[in-house]
Structure 1
Amino acid sequence: MSNMAINNERQTAGAPPRHILSRYSFEGNTADVLSDIYREDTNMAIWQRTLSDKLAVAAEGILSRKPHLKASSIVSPETAVSTANEMIGLEGNASLFSEDIAQLVDMFCCLFDLRRAGLRIAALDRAMCPRFHVDRVPCRLITTYVGQATEWIPHDRVDRAKLGIGNQGQSDDASGLLKNSHAIHQLKRGDVALLKGERWEGNEGAGLVHRSPSISVTARRLVLTLDFID
């Protein structure tokens, strides 16, 4: 069963409609928790999975062989394995990685009734999106195979007026974006998360606020994302 983060925010005079104020994250250790993204009061669903030892080794091997990997393609469940193989090669046990990608593509397309999805795999040595932000998409899947994973803020702990130009040139810590010092949460390696964006119907003004983690000069990440195409 999934766990819900409680949001105690109350509606006040002149505030946005109630449907914008209440947004929760759901998490669980089985893939079926991802279907909770369809709940109107949800803007994040997290499948808390643990990578198998073999898959973790395969991911480390890909990062070692392709430290500057940046690959993207439009894939279907039927073409995901072959496309992934072209992106990462077939050295070692990389086929395990391709098979995992194909499983995620199949789940993503089935969940949202899509024929295709936008696949991106990236090896990163710096924060790709270092500032907290929302995505102008309906929904995005993200998972980190190597390194630190995505940071995010629960809906009731962020002042959205401080996003983008609203920060007036100040850092996220100094702008007033965070309502308290314990607001930042972080996914774990292997977690599969669905992040509901601003273009999900009825979720305008409530897209999940998140950013890439800061990483040291010696650390690297291997990250996969899936996006809507159709």
Structure 2
Amino acid sequence: MPILAAQEQNAVAHWASGPDLAVLAEVFDEAITIAIMQRQLGPALRASITAQCAAQPWQLAWRGPADATLEQALIRSMPAPQQAAELIADVRLLAEAVACLFDVDAVGIRMRLLDGAMCPRFHCDNLPVRLVTTYSGPGSEWLPEQALDRAGLGKPEPGKPEVVRDAGAIRQLAEGDVCFLKGSGWVGNEDRGIVHRSPAVVAGQKRLMLTIDPQF
């Protein structure tokens, strides 16, 4: 058995995954730093997504309640608004889930169509928690705790160790998966923020991603 696999068996898993929305609540478990809802996107939602990806890169940054005002902001930003209903409904559902789970009145939303990696270096976010999903293209990559050296995080410097101890241990979210990333801003998780990065995007490939931050 590879050394890393043996280490993972002997370590307390800090991730949770499953096919239902309820798995996202596992992020409240002290041990969990990433909770993943695995899902397959339906044909109607895929068609709506494809229509929004047929444009040049675009983005939306918005803050407010998870209600009709969010839908209106999305309609104004979508390059193909006539075909956006299914995608907008999904974004609102996820925004409502974030607002409910964290008992907040507002969420911060960023939606981007990218043609390159946004954060290509492994890092952890200095915020409490963030929902991430990739609607089209490769999903975000993350590292199990046993596979990284936190001394290597941050700005590259001479003599600094590599963050990744085993490249074969890198894990990747699938297209459509929804996850909560627990950052170093979560009380009690200051030294355990999940380490992740944007995936490589090949020439001609686009990536449509959504992030939602509860506004505490």
Task: State the TM-score, normalized to the length of structure 2.
Answer: 0.91
Q: How many residues align structurally?
A: 209
Cα distance per residue 1:136-186 (max 9 Å; x no partner): 110000000110010000112110000113x4268xxx9432222312000
* Residue 209 (structure 1) aligned with residue 188 (structure 2): no
Q: Would you say 1:52 and 2:54 are equivalent positions?
A: no
Determine if contact 2:151/2:161 at 8 Å carries over to the other structure. Answer: no
* Residue among 57, 61, 69 paired with 1:68: 57
Q: Which amino acid aligns with 1:229?
A: Q
* DSSP-derived class of the 1:182 partner: helix
Q: Is the 8 A contact 1:127 1:212 kept in 2?
A: yes
Q: How does 1:109-188 map to 2 (within 5 A)?
A: 109-165=99-155, 167-168=156-157, 175-188=161-174
Alignment RMSD, CA only? 1.9
Give the % identical residues: 34
TM-score of the pair, normalised by structure 1: 0.85
1:54 is paired with a residue whose SS is: helix
Q: Compute the displacement of 1:6 (Å).
A: 4.8
1:142 match: secondary structure: strand
| Match status 1:24 vs 2:10 | no
Would you say the 8 A contact 1:139–1:227 is kept in 2? yes
Q: Can you list the C-alpha shifts for 1:54-112, whole angstroms capped at 9, x where unaligned? A: 111111111113x2211110031222222211221563421111111100000010011
CA shift, 1:7, in A, is 6.0
**Equivalents in 1 of 2:109, 2:165: separation in Å?**
34
8 Å Cα contact 2:35/2:180 also seen in 1: yes
Contact map agreement 2:137 2:205 (CA 8 A) in 1: yes
CA 1:113–1:107 in 2, change beyond 3 Å: closer, same or farther?
Answer: same
Contact between 1:43 and 1:207, CA under 8 Å: does it hold in 2? yes
Distance 1:23 1:197 in 2: 17
Q: Look up the match of 2:93.
A: 103
SS at match of 2:122: coil
CA distance in 2, matches of 1:93, 1:187: 26
2:3 aligns to what? none
- Cα 1:143–1:62, aligned 2, differ >3 Å: closer, same or farther? same
Structure 1 runs of 4+ off > 4 angstroms?
A: none
Q: 1:90 to 1:126 in 2, by over 3 A?
A: closer
Instruction: Give the secondary structure class of the aligned counterpart of 2:74.
Output: helix
The answer to whether structure 1 residue 77 and structure 2 residue 66 are counterparts is yes
